Structure 1
Amino acid sequence: MRILFWLIALFGLAVGLAMFARLNTGYALLFFPPWRMELSLNAFVLLFALLVLGGYGLVKLVDWLLAMPRNVRRYKAAKRVNDARRYRREAITALIEGRYHKSVRAIKVARDAEDEREMQLIDTLIAARAAHFGRDFDARDQYIEQARVACGGRSLALDMLEAEMMYEQYRNREALVALQRVYAQSPKLTAALKLELKIRQQDNHPARVIELTDMLEKSDALDPSHAARIRNQARLNQLKLDPMDASELERWWHGLRKDEKLLPKLAAAAARQFIRAGVGERAESILVDALEANWDVAPLETYGELGRLGVKGDAVKRLARAEDWLRHHPNDHQLLLALGRMCRDAALWGKARNYLEASVAVAATPVAHAELGQLLEQLDERETAEEHYRASLGLALDLLEKRT
């Protein structure tokens, strides 16, 4: 529609000019002493138009010639920018594809073609990452130094990248140094906290692991269930790494959250530490609370060994509590095994035998067969005891083969 409008306008203008030229009878007199020139008005208008257009063209030509050096510089700069973008795109694509050496070559060309300092720094960081993935660690270190010089020694991106690469190379101490520089610029950077959490887990620093886990969970950077698993393992490591006396252990236990105290493995490990510290009654209450909240084999096994571990207390009440649990868990072979151990420790040979045989009947395990064999050996039934010993050994070997 627009083209049709312009065509109509042009045709109208042409018709108007033709009519003007045909009907116009005027003339123009040009006087340049001592010369006089008389022209028709049509010729004068045409000549004037040609002079104006020629002058405009001459001015544009001069302007173009004067601007040529500037335009050449601008063209070269635009070409360098386009080249830098193209090679940077190739480098990033090659990095994602896993073609690390090609990525390094492409990003070097992009960096050389780039004029902007910030983009040169980014190109250097990409080159360092690609060289690291390509296991060219000397080149990577050179790029890191070049980037440090380019940014004046202060760059969050550089420090975070260096920390990640040092961690991936199992140089945890240097990674932690880089993370300290990151924290100086961004104290609560989630990526840095997660990276330090991995390092602290590897280096087995449970106190710091718990602190980092709490921080990440509060910021919704860790799923609560995942955070609970990490925290539970850290608590277990605390018990293994830091032997505590009774008072220290009590303070540590009171510092746990309510839900942590009911975790089966943690409760069993804490109970054993309380037993070691000579506070067997505390250990028993911990196990009972954990079992009544979350039925699990770890506290149940420790509960069944309280007598063997030298925990004083009412053994009859302890046995009665376990037999009450049996009403709710009648086919739990681990509970039957625990009851068999407790009866054997209390010299209730008949009940011990019944419980151990029931445990083997529900689920034959190497431990149950071995316990039953030891009991039968005490009762001078050596042949039957040897059968259970052989069964225990066979099951143990089968389990070992499956694991290997």
Structure 2
Amino acid sequence: MPAWRAPCVRSRSCAKRRFRSNCPRSSTASTRYATSSWRRRRSRERARPMRWLIRFVLVFALAVAIAMAARYSEGYALLVVPPYRIELSLPVLMFGLFAAFALSYMVLRALTHTLRLPAYVSAFRRRRRERRGFDALQSAWEAFLEGRYGRAQKYAIRAYHLRTAPSLSALLAARAAHALRDFEQRDQWLERAAQVPGESRNARLAAHAEMLLDERRYEEARAILRDMHANGPKQLATLRLLLRAEQGLHNWEEVLRLLRILDKRDARSRPLTEPLRITAIVECLKQKGHDAEALRAFWKQVRHEDKIEPRVAAAAAQCFIQVGDAREAHRLIAEALARNWTPDLVQLYGECDGEDALERIQRCEEWLHDHPHDAVLLLTLGRLCMYRELWGKAQSYLEASLSQQPSRAAHRELARLYEKIGRETEAERHYRIAADVATPA
């Protein structure tokens, strides 16, 4: 037998404490009634031995007082019941009266208990049902937390039929059925939870929305969560579920709005949501990459610390190039590289078209002082020099890049360079080498 089911004096109180620590709070009337009834019963059980002790002391004191009074009393009582005449000593009379009173009291108590026997039986059954219900609900939570969802559902259903926190029991049965992928049973238990008088509406809706999100039914989950958010307290848990729904629907602007709200209310979650924020910004940039005005308006709203993130800077640069603003693309790449040196951004800086190639060459040569052995930077300089037809410098930079790290892109660019200057044999050799090199760039 498990330790928590041991038939000890403290078992009920221990079970009660474990139940309250494992179960979420429920505001249902049945839970409040069961808790208050359990407390009243426990207080009566604790006070019963003290009451009997007080009664025994009082009876004993009364007997001692009567005995002491009879010792010094010489009086008597005369009872005349024609044709009889009875003379009794005072102690005997007092003892008789006391015995008659005690007998009458016992008879009345017996009659009272006999008349109240149906109520006693009903109360006993109710207490036993409550005890079994609490045990079943506790077993359901333990099984659910252990991942034994079939067992959890069985005990939750038992607790529901025993009317122990019926709303909570129905929700737990629904969650267990959902974990077992039995969606029909889950929906039935959600309906039963909704039919319980005084049920916790927000708890049921939040659980329903979370289960819909697990099924990727984002539209339905979002409708439920927006209704909760509009008509109830704006809880962090609800906001996080709504964030999942908007992310599943690829509504990236709404994702960014919800992330800003979460950052204001719970700053500790920012490191966890940072990757999602970057993804949302990149996706928003892609959506607005064909509208110059919308792109610029959105870019103004992005925080500076997000603008210099490599993924964001690369996506923004590509979008600005698409709308014909290559100079802005070059500027933001340079700003991002000043804070986060990333080879992908360096390569993109050289692949961008634009009339400011000389300015970019000068900037790359400045970077070369800090990164003299960067193969990607040398490759970028070679491309820019080829764009400006500076064949000698381009050749030296490309060969330097190959000396640092052989790459397919550098061999291909060098082959193109040799084609431009009429050295076909060397161009063919570098094309063949580029086909065999494993490193693309």
Pairwise TM-score range, normalised by the shorter structure: 0.7 to 0.9
Deviation of 1:212 after TM superposition, in Å, equals 0.8
1:38–1:152 Cα change, 3 Å: closer
Give how far 1:324 is off.
0.7
Q: Does 1:301 align with 2:308?
A: no
Q: Which moved more, 1:23-32 or 1:136-145?
A: 23-32
Partner of 2:400: 358
Aligned to 2:375: 333
What letter is aligned with 1:241? Q
CA distance in 1, matches of 2:202, 2:171: 12
Q: Which moved more, 1:209-218 or 1:35-44?
A: 35-44
**Cα offsets for 1:266-310 (capped at 9, x unmatched):** 22221222222112222222222222233223332221113xx3x
Residues 138-217 of structure 1 correspond to what in structure 2 (within 5 A)? 138-150=184-196, 155-186=201-232, 188-217=234-263
1:367 to 2:430 alignment: no
Counterpart position of 1:345: 387
Deviations along 1:210-229, one digit per CA (max 9) or x if unpaired, are: 11111111111663334443
State the one-letter code of the partner of 2:355: K
Aligned to 1:262: 308
Q: How does 1:47-58 map to 2 (within 5 A)?
A: 47-58=96-107
- Using the TM superposition, give the Cα deviation of residue 363 of structure 1 relative to its aligned residue in structure 2, in angstroms: 3.2
Aligned to 2:27: none
- Report the equivalent of 1:99: 148
Q: 2:90 matched to 1:41?
A: yes
Q: Which residue of 2 aligns with 1:80?
A: 129
Deviations 1:306-360 (A, max 9, x none): 3xx3x123x2222111101111122222211211211222222332232223223
In structure 2, do the counterparts of structure 1 residues 292 and 11 end up closer, same or farther at CA, with 3 Å as the change threshold?
A: closer
Aligned positions, number: 385
Q: 1:371 to 1:32 in 2, by over 3 A?
A: farther
Tell me if the contact between 2:383 and 2:394 (Cα under 8 Å) persists in the aligned partners: yes
Q: 1:247 to 1:136 in 2, by over 3 A?
A: closer
Alignment check: 8 A CA contact 2:350 2:381 kept: yes
What's the CA shift for 1:203? 2.2
1:169–1:221 Cα change, 3 Å: farther
**Alignment match of 1:385 (pick from 402, 409, 430):** 430
Q: How does 1:233-248 map to 2 (within 5 A)?
A: 233-248=279-294
Judge conservation of contact 1:344–1:375 (CA < 8 Å) in 2.
yes
Closer, same or farther in 2 for the Cα pair 1:172/1:332, shift >3 Å? same
2:276 aligned residue (230, 240, 265): 230
Deviations 1:92-114 (A, max 9, x none): 11111222122222111211111
TM-score (norm 1): 0.85
Report the equivalent of 2:53: none
RMSD after superposition: 3.1
Counterpart residue type for residue 82 of structure 1: R
Taking every aligned residue pair, what percent have the same amino acid on both sides?
A: 34
Shift of 1:373: 4.4
Displacement of 1:50 in angstroms is 1.3
TM superposition shift of 1:126: 1.0
Judged with a 3 Å threshold, the aligned counterparts in structure 2 of structure 1 residues 46 and 153 are, in CA distance, closer, same or farther, namely closer
Counterpart-to-counterpart distance in 1, 2:101 and 2:57: 26
| Structure 2 CA distance for partners of 1:373 and 1:252, relative to 1, 3 Å | same
Moved more, 223-232 or 57-66: 223-232
**Aligned-partner SS, 2:80:** strand
Say yes or no: does 1:312 pair with 2:355: yes
Q: String of CA shifts for 1:43-102, please: whole Å, max 9, x gaps.
A: 223222211211221121122112212212111111111111111111111111222122
Q: Secondary structure at the match of 1:98?
A: coil
Q: Secondary structure of the equivalent of 2:216? A: coil
Alignment partner for residue 319 of structure 2, among 273, 298, 304?
Answer: 273
1:88 maps to a residue whose letter is L
**Post-superposition shift, 1:13?**
9.0
- Structure 1 position 250, deviation (Å): 2.2
Distance across 2 between alignment mates of 1:13 and 1:75: 35
Runs of 4+ in 1 over 6 A off after TM superposition: 7-19
After the TM superposition, which of the residue ranges 26-35 and 51-60 deviates more from structure 2?
26-35
Q: Which runs of 5+ in 1 are unaligned?
A: 1-6, 400-404
Deviation, structure 1 residue 30: 1.9
C-alpha distance in structure 2 between counterparts of 1:50 and 1:8, whole Å: 18
Q: CA deviation at 1:151?
A: 5.1
> Is contact 2:320-2:329 (8 Å) kept?
yes
SS in structure 2 opposite 1:223? helix
Structure number with greater CO (CA < 8 Å, separation at least 6) is 2
Normalised by the size of structure 2, how large is the TM-score?
Answer: 0.78
Name the CA shift for 1:153/1:20 in 2 (closer, same or farther; >3 Å).
closer
